[in-house]
């Protein structure tokens, strides 16, 4: 840590001697970068004061009114510089870049901020729906997010992790970087640490990978953690410090329900109007609504068989599909939101192998029961889709058949010709898994 940064931290902690204050005063006059870092630290303290209103925090973080006469010794010149700097920073840089989206690894975002790799980011909320992403703050602090995650960028020296898992790497330039969570906050003292938000935001779990951090609760408690130490923050304060071994045992939550997952075992295929099978591929379950003069409408069917299940005892049911790109058509010719319908039949056995079922021989949606709906934005080309509904559970329970066949259709059509064909992985897809029916008893 640089000596000047140590002076700032000791000053804000009310632990700086008179000679130290004079030295900090002189350094602030001469060093514009140091003035910026000083402002960032003040801004962090103010934000934390607003985040966690606690008498102890008000007393300890940044309560200028309670400082002794050392404050006046920062001198008129430094005070003037700081006031002008803070006012200018606040009024003229409200949309100033405070971070950069360093990398996207199969990342899908929901955010009003830019999400292209390399984009500069101002203060705001970002939600990572899938993949891994790295955000580098202007201070140099780096946060690696694992989806699903939600982070609020607050300043160059502070972020708030609301959901998910993250690893924070803090170089010397960003000592004092603060990561806020729903249950408290951590201040870096030269470190790399991991944090996980659990139990719907009620628990924040911190693990120090190297260096040290200090944890702070809204109740005013604090705890220093060193390398290979861990602790949690919750509604009651700070949990017990734990020394980590090289590898922690996997904690598997107990399940009250028995869960059974059924695969299609190859009984899945697409059909196309007019049986133009050259426009199909057995690795994909394709769907498209085409109302043109020479329609290429596609539907997909998949069958699940399980003789030993008492379907009447099902508590929950989910159908899982994996969305994958197939290369047919263009997304720009689709509506922004595309709607899909899932129909079910009890006992139909016509889906035996790839290519055996023709369009005219396939069951119609009119002869089936609608058991689920879902939507996919046109911007999405990959991802896991889960269909869960009361209608699906009731259909399976009431029929209590040994096998079920599902028909997947797209309700929305293209805005013009050459619209994209949506595709989901079949059992033979080389990367993603095929349809899965998940039952809880």
Structure tokens at 61: 């973080």
Closest CA to 153 of 109, 190, 189, 192: 109
pTM, full prediction: 0.48
CA distance 84 to 90: 10
CATH match for 259-440 among 2.60.120, 2.40.128, 2.30.31, 3.40.50: 2.60.120
Per-residue CA distances from 237 to 13, 197, 218, 299 (Å) = 21, 15, 7, 55
Q: How would you write the pLDDT of the chain (441 residues) with one tens digit per residue?
A: 567 777 777 676 666 777 777 777 778 777 777 776 676 666 655 555 555 554 433 333 333 344 444 444 444 344 544 544 544 444 444 478 999 999 998 888 988 899 999 999 999 999 999 889 999 999 999 999 998 999 999 999 999 999 999 999 999 889 999 999 999 999 998 789 999 999 889 999 999 988 999 999 998 899 999 998 999 999 889 999 998 765 554 444 454 568 899 999 989 999 998 888 888 999 999 999 987 666 789 999 999 998 888 888 889 999 999 999 998 888 878 888 999 999 999 987 777 766 678 898 899 999 999 999 999 998 888 889 999 999 999 999 999 888 899 999 999 998 766 788 999 999 999 888 899 999 988
Give the residue among 299, 391, 278 at the shortest CA–CA distance from 344: 391
pLDDT for the residue 161: 97
Cα separations in angstroms, 93 against 72, 85, 115, 311: 28, 11, 21, 61
Query: Cα separation of 135 and 158, whole Å?
Result: 12
pLDDT at position 58: 38
Structural domain boundaries of the chain?
3-92, 99-243, 259-440
Degrees to nearest 5, angle at CA 249 with 245 and 250? 140
Q: Residue 405's beta-bridge partner residues? A: 303, 345
Region label for 89, one of left (φ > 0), alpha (ψ between -120 and 50) or beta (otherwise): alpha
Residue 280 near residue 353, CB atoms below 8 Å? no
Residues near 84 by beta carbon (within 8 Å), at least 6 away in sequence: none
Confidence (pLDDT) at 99: 96
Name the pairing type of β-strands 242-243 and 229-234. antiparallel
Torsion-angle region of 124 (φ positive above 0: left; ψ -120 to 50: alpha; else: beta): left
Query: CB neighbours (10 Å) of residue 88?
Result: 10
| Fold assignment, 99-243 | Jelly Rolls (2.60.120)
Closest CA to 20 of 5, 30, 31, 34: 5
- The β-bridge relationship of strands 242-243 and 158-169 is unpaired
pLDDT of residue 353: 62
> Do 429 and 323 touch, CB atoms closer than 8 A?
no
């Amino acid at each position: 840590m640089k000596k000047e940064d140590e002076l700032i931290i000791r000053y804000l902690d009310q632990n700086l001697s008179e000679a130290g204050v004079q030295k900090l005063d002189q350094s602030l006059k001469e060093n514009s970068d140091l003035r910026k870092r000083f402002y960032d630290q003040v801004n962090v303290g103010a934000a934390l004061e607003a985040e966690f209103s606690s008498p102890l925090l008000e007393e300890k973080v940044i309560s200028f009114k309670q400082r002794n006469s050392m404050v006046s010794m920062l001198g008129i010149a430094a005070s003037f510089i700081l006031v002008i700097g803070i006012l200018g920073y606040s009024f003229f840089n409200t949309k100033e870049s405070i971070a950069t989206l360093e990398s996207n690894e199969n990342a899908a975002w929901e955010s009003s901020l830019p999400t292209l790799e390399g984009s500069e980011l101002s203060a705001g909320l970002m939600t990572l729906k899938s993949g891994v992403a790295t955000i580098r703050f202007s201070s140099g602090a780096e946060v690696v997010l694992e989806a699903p995650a939600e982070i609020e960028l607050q300043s160059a020296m502070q972020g708030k992790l609301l959901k998910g898992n993250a690893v924070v790497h803090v170089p010397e330039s960003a000592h004092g970087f603060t990561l806020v969570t729903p249950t408290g906050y951590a201040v870096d003292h030269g470190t790399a640490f991991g944090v996980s938000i659990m139990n719907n935001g009620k628990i924040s779990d911190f693990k120090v990978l190297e260096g040290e951090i200090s944890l702070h609760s809204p109740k005013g408690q604090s705890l220093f953690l060193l390398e290979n130490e861990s602790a949690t923050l919750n509604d009651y304060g700070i949990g017990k410090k734990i020394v980590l071994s090289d590898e922690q045992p996997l904690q598997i939550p107990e399940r009250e329900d028995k869960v059974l997952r059924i695969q299609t075992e190859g009984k899945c295929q697409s059909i196309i109007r007019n049986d133009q099978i050259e426009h199909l591929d057995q690795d994909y379950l394709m769907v498209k609504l085409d109302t043109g003069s020479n329609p290429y409408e596609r539907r997909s069917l998949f069958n699940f068989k399980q003789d030993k299940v008492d379907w009447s005892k099902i508590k929950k049911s989910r159908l899982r599909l994996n969305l994958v790109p197939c290369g047919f058509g263009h997304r720009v010719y689709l509506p922004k939101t595309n709607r899909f319908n899932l129909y079910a039949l009890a006992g139909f056995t016509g889906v035996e192998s790839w290519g055996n079922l023709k369009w005219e021989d396939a069951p119609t949606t009119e002869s089936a029961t609608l058991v689920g709906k879902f939507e996919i934005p046109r911007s999405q080309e990959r991802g896991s889709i889960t269909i869960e509904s009361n209608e699906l559970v009731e259909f399976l329970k009431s029929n209590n058949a040994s096998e079920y066949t599902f028909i997947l259709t797209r309700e929305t059509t293209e805005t013009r010709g050459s619209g994209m064909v949506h595709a989901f992985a079949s059992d033979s897809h080389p990367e993603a898994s095929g349809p899965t029916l998940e039952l809880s008893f």
